[in-house]
Copies of this chain bind each other. A is one copy, B any other.
Amino acid sequence: MERTLTSVTTRRDGVASSAGSETIVLCESLSTETTCAPEFIDISDEVQRIVSDSGVQFGQVTVYSTHTTAAIKVNENEPLLLQDMARILNQLAPLHGEYEHNDFTRRTVNIEEGECRNGHAHCQHLFLSTSETIPIIDGRVSTGQWQRIFLVELDQPRQRRVLVNIVGVK
The residues of A with any CB-CB pair to B shorter than 8 Å are 1-36, 38-43, 46, 49-50, 58-60, 62, 64-68, 73-89, 92-93, 99-101, 103, 106-110, 119, 122-123, 125-135, 137, 142-147, 161-163, 165, 167-169
State the majority secondary structure of interface residues on A: mixed
A108: which of B6, B31, B79, B82 is its contact (CB, 8 Å)? B79
A80: which of B66, B75, B106 is its contact (CB, 8 Å)? B106
A19: which of B2, B23, B81 is its contact (CB, 8 Å)? B23
Give complex CA distance A108, B80 in Å: 9
Q: How many copies does the complex hold?
A: 3
- Kindly list chain B residues whose C-beta atoms are within 8 Å of the C-beta of A24: 17-19
Give complex CA distance A11, B39 in Å: 18
B75 in contact with A122 (CB, 8 Å): yes
Which B residue sits closest to A65, measured CB to CB?
A: B144
Chain B: minimal CB distance from A29 (Å): 5
Chain B: minimal CB distance from A77 (Å): 7
